[in-house]
């Protein structure tokens, strides 16, 4: 709506609200100086009422003086204009029309630009916290566990069984046959490798990653020499990517996510290159602070179509987390692994094994916590110097301990060997029973603890 159109609309609406029943045509002064005829009962045929026989019968309702007339479309209350005393004509001052027009126009503009779910004009929509993370604060402020002393004790006990674990000072060279948990120099490599390792075994994820290497190869020269040819994968058809990783399982879902991630990374790389080449005062802070060598490296990567997320190395941990979880299929656990293993930041990634053991240790509220809220809580409560080792130790223990595996019980093989943290945990959830148990007889279960089919 333009301002003039809004003013006309306001004038007509105000005239219709007039209680006066003048027999002549009143005039309304438009802000521009034009005179507009108002609705009346006069002889003007174009404005006359329809015959009584064609009028729809309505039930008259007494006017409530306390009610305020509303404008249509929830635009707020209308102006109530009272006729001047001893004067049958009611004129609207031009400044009143202008004020009403301005109010309506501002309301329309605000609705257009700030409708929920759409970005304001001139601003980019950015997913900053789609998982309701609470960086720096815990979602369970009244839950004071674990204490630093408890973390030290559990780390010491598990180290006696699984060995002492120390975070590496340098990132090892990437393997072309094993995905790992993102412990590689390239951030994009780490992200895709960790995505492939999700919801499957290490052997399956290794087969999927090796399928990509075999089908699309590695870069033989240029900036990314030795890296997986992610640009070839980006340009390949979805079917080819699916065929390359299908041996690892969940190929239908993961191939789509990989393609979408690579498209996003390519677009971002090109946008950052354009900013560096053309110059812009609205450039991301990390670009403005880069040394000239770093700027030239990013430009060269984009010119050679070498897909890269290595600029995340220069971001703060919270900002890097926000950048990672915006990609499809990347949740807090995957992003935290990239932060911990690739970016070498203290970050306590929570997977299914860690979540289970932390609940048994009573480190999180067992009935309230989810893997995401547990991550936010433990990120605050666990000392930074123990995050790497406890992450690794919990996963090893959760996979190997006969008493701390997912579905286990007194009938499990190796149960009699005990558990080094047995005195600290309270195990809950599905359990195997002794042979002859009343709830879940052993003869009704398969070796993995699930019920056998009839």
Q: How confident is the model over 309-314, as a mean pLDDT?
A: 92
For residue 88, pLDDT beyond 80: no
Please report how many Cα atoms fall inside a 13 Å half-sphere around the Cα of residue 42, on the Cβ side. 13
Q: What angle do CA 380, 381, 385 make, to 5 degrees?
A: 90
What confidence tier does 359 reach under pLDDT thresholds 50, 70, 90?
very high
What confidence tier does 225 reach under pLDDT thresholds 50, 70, 90?
confident
* Structural tokens at position 346: 């203290």
For residue 439, pLDDT beyond 60: no
In terms of Cα–Cα distance, which of 370, 300, 444, 307 is closest to 132?
370
pLDDT for res 450: 44
Please state, in angstroms and rounded to a whole number, the distance separating the CA atoms of residues 210 and 194: 14
Q: What is the DSSP letter of 445?
A: B
Q: Residue 54: is it exposed, middle or buried by C-beta count within 10 angstroms (0-12/13-18/19+)? A: exposed
The residue count for the chain: 454
What confidence tier does 223 reach under pLDDT thresholds 50, 70, 90?
confident
For residue 280, pLDDT beyond 60: yes
CATH top class, domain 139-167+346-429:
mainly alpha
For residue 340, pLDDT beyond 50: yes
pLDDT for res 162: 96
Cα–Cα distances (Å) from 444 to 11, 189, 230, 254, 433, in that order, read 81, 45, 48, 35, 11
Q: How confident is the model over 124-137, as a mean pLDDT?
A: 68
Highest mean pLDDT among 70-74, 98-102, 335-339: 335-339
pLDDT for res 294: 86
3-state secondary structure 26-77: CEEECCCCCEEECCCCCCCHHHCCCCHHHCCCCCCCCCCCCCCCECHHHCCE
Cα–Cα distances (Å) from 348 to 113, 205, 339, 353, in that order, read 40, 22, 9, 13
Residue in the block written with tokens 């990517």 = 241
Please state, in angstroms and rounded to a whole number, the distance separating the CA atoms of residues 77 and 59: 24
Q: Which residues pair with 77 in a beta bridge?
A: 70
* Structural tokens at position 249: 């399982």
pTM: 0.66
What confidence tier does 168 reach under pLDDT thresholds 50, 70, 90?
confident
For residue 420, pLDDT beyond 90: yes
The SS3 call for residue 228 is strand
* Structural tokens at position 427: 């195990």
pLDDT for res 242: 97
Backbone angles phi, psi at 368, to 5 degrees: -115, -30
In terms of Cα–Cα distance, which of 25, 22, 28, 39 is closest to 97?
28
Q: Return all residues near 169 (Cβ < 8 A) that are at least 6 apart.
A: none
Q: Map out the domains of the chain as residue ranges.
A: 139-167+346-429, 172-343
The SS3 call for residue 431 is strand
Highest mean pLDDT among 74-83, 216-225, 292-301, 321-330: 321-330
CATH number for the domain running over 172-343: 1.10.340.30
pLDDT for res 105: 61
Q: Could you read off the pLDDT of 23-49 as tens digits, one per residue?
A: 444 444 444 444 444 444 444 444 444
């Amino acid at each position: 709506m333009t301002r003039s159109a809004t003013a006309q609309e306001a004038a007509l609406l105000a005239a219709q609200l007039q209680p006066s029943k003048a027999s002549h045509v009143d005039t309304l002064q438009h802000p521009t100086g034009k005179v507009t005829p108002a609705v009346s009962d006069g002889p003007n045929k174009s404005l006359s009422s329809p015959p009584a026989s064609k009028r729809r019968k309505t039930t008259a309702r007494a006017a409530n003086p306390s009610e305020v007339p509303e404008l249509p479309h929830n635009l707020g209350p209308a102006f109530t204009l009272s006729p001047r005393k001893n004067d049958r004509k009611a004129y609207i001052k031009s400044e009143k029309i202008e004020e009403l027009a301005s109010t309506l126009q501002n309301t329309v503009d605000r609705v257009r630009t700030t409708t929920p779910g759409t970005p304001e004009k001139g601003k980019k929509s950015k997913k900053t916290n789609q998982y309701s993370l609470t960086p720096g604060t815990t979602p369970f402020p009244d839950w004071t566990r674990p204490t630093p002393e408890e973390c030290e004790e559990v780390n010491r006990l598990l180290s006696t069984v699984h060995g002492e674990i120390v975070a590496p000072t340098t990132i090892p060279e990437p393997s072309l046959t094993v995905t790992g948990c993102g412990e590689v120099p390239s951030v994009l490599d780490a992200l895709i490798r960790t995505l492939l390792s999700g919801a499957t075994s290490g052997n399956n994820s290794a087969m999927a990653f090796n399928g990509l290497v075999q089908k699309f190869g590695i870069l033989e020269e240029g900036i990314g020499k030795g890296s997986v040819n992610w640009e070839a994968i980006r340009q390949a058809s979805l079917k080819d990517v699916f065929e390359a990783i299908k041996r690892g399982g969940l190929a239908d879902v993961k191939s789509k996510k990989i393609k979408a991630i690579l498209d996003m990374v390519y677009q971002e790389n090109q946008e950052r290159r354009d900013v560096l080449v053309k110059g812009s005062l609205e450039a991301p802070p990390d670009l403005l602070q880069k040394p000239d060598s770093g700027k030239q490296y990013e430009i060269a990567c984009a010119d050679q179509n070498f897909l890269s997320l290595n600029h995340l190395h220069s971001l703060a941990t919270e900002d890097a987390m926000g950048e990672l979880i915006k990609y499809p299929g990347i949740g807090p656990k995957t992003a935290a692994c990239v932060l911990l293993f690739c970016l070498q930041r203290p970050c306590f990634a929570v997977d299914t094994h860690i979540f289970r053991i932390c609940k048994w240790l009573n480190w999180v509220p067992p009935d309230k916590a989810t893997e995401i809220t547990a991550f936010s809580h433990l990120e605050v409560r666990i000392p930074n110097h123990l995050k790497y080792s406890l992450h690794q130790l919990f996963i090893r223990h959760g996979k190997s301990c006969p008493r701390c595996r997912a579905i286990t019980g007194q009938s499990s093989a190796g149960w009699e060997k005990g558990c080094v943290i047995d005195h600290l945990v309270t195990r809950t959830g599905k359990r195997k029973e002794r042979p002859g148990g009343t709830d879940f007889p052993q003869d009704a279960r398969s070796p993995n603890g699930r019920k056998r089919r009839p």
